[in-house]
Structure 1
């Protein structure tokens, strides 16, 4: 990390309620933070990384069986704007049936199925827990997101010597509420944009930790209090990079809108209500500027 660069905050999930103030500040000023003592066994994280790599090594015809439930929720092949990137996807990871379909699509072995099932259950519970703590840090009830679906993705960056210095994933903020990332423990490349300076801060591999990014839905739902961090992935070395991501999306059918407790004379409503499906369609056409299109201008 370069001289003078600030490090993103670290939240100790075993130290609540003592961390609520630090959590709130991290979400407002950074839009991202690492978590430690998160309860996911290290051997399970290691095993899931190995399973993810083996699934990404499958022939293209098998990976293409991983079809969409909602648009872009299944296999995403490399494309002109992301030539180094591909991803496998599982929509509604809390559903045992959905997990089994995902495993069957990819001919997962019994051992691989067991690892995927355990990991999905553990990460889903952690996702709900972190979402609840974010709400509590703002003085709200913790169960607001209990029915929201989660999208699970295994991302692969095919970094080669020729690609060093190029972009693996362009600058973007996630459209979801929050993302839990298990980063590659050996290969870096992720950078987050600092809120005030616009400088990019490298998120170096730190084994055993998880990274939380806040997305556009979090900003709208919190009436602007939670910061939707922009980030990118750069190719810095010739090595395959695998990351495992869980996206807490938003309500299935209800509108995303700020709770009454977060709207008052000093904090007027900033965004028109919208459904996640509406926002996903808007994002597909306008990318990162989509949230601005929903802002209420007084």
Structure 2
């Protein structure tokens, strides 16, 4: 498969490892995002389509039902349209690797047995895919074993209500993800996602059905000791319609501290960030309205 959509977002073929390892690490360092293809052994395209149907129906529920989707951690539950993001609303599920958490999410939204089954299958599949990608990243850096055994996962199902009057308006503000990585199942028809490259220019990421987009977030920048790019991105209203996407986040350790592994720290590459817990970082970032990675500057170790 060629580079996607003419905007040179790297395409990583999941069937060809370790042959794709160098390309994967380069994408993490230079772009902070990439598409993956040939992941069918973990996530079937039929399941992706089923999940999108379920997601659309959940987002059409009455407001009083969606409001039952409450935060488990800050920002993890239902988000109604706001002054900052008036075209956007979302439902969220924290700890998607837990069948009990998935079951509670479904019960709060009065999900049907079929919807519940699809959500459980999707949560399991996307969690396994996040583990697989992270394992390949670790191998690409020469690390032994997984580093994410007890990391939290979350997904967020997003709806953008684009009207003729809102064309050229932001669908969601510019931000980085606070997570290690995000797997995005984008809308198959309506685009609008834009990523910022290292020169500060925005590049449109057009829909590409049958693929998944991976973004790296703030935790990846810290964990890699500054090697990986926490990509800034936004959604713009480019056309009229309802845009729906599913974002699945590998957040960070539930209790352990976030820091670069010793293998990535030496005299030539001193530790760049003070260690912290993911929860403290998320609270600091949200509490101070630091949405584009600025919170990391407060954690930088100033070298003498």
TM-score (normalised: structure 1): 0.97
What secondary structure does 2:150 align onto? coil
- Displacement of 1:234 in angstroms is 0.1
Following superposition, the deviation at residue 256 of structure 1 comes to 0.3
How many Å separate the matches in 1 of 2:260 and 2:281?
15
Which residue in the other structure is 2:119 paired with?
116
Of the three residues 36, 49, 53, the one matched with 2:52 is 49
Using the TM superposition, give the Cα deviation of residue 141 of structure 1 relative to its aligned residue in structure 2, in angstroms: 2.5
Aligned partner of 2:14 in structure 1 is: 13
Distance 2:209 2:114 in 1: 23
Listed as ranges, the matches of 1:265-284 within 5 Å are 265-284=267-286
**SS of aligned partner of 2:97:** coil
SS at match of 1:16: coil
Decide whether the 8 Å contact of 2:7 with 2:205 is kept in 1: no
Runs of 4 or more consecutive aligned structure 1 residues displaced over 4 Å after TM superposition: none
Match for residue 249 of structure 2 among 247, 250, 272? 247
**1:294 pairs with 292, 299, 304, which one?**
299
Aligned to 2:39, what secondary structure does the other structure show? coil
- In the other structure, the counterpart of 1:258 is 260
The answer to whether the 8 A contact 1:66-1:102 is kept is: yes
Asked whether the 8 Å contact 1:7–1:201 carries over to 2, the reply is no
- State the partner residue of 1:181: 184
Deviations 1:109-149 (A, max 9, x none): 11111111111110000011111111111111341112101
8 Å CA contact 1:164–1:235 kept in 2: the answer is: yes
Are residue 204 (structure 1) and residue 232 (structure 2) matched? no
* Distance in 2 between residues matched to 1:260 and 1:151, nearest whole Å: 27
Q: Is 2:7–2:204's contact at 8 Å kept on the other side of the alignment? A: no
1: CA distance, partners of 2:21 / 2:7: 21
Gapped runs of 5+ residues in structure 2? 1-5
Give the aligned CA root-mean-square deviation in angstroms: 1.1
Number of residue pairs matched? 294
Matches within 5 A, 1:1-298: 6-39=7-40, 40-195=43-198, 197-284=199-286, 285-287=288-290, 288=292, 289-298=294-303
The unaligned stretches of length 5 or more in structure 1 are none
- By how many angstroms is 1:297 displaced? 1.2
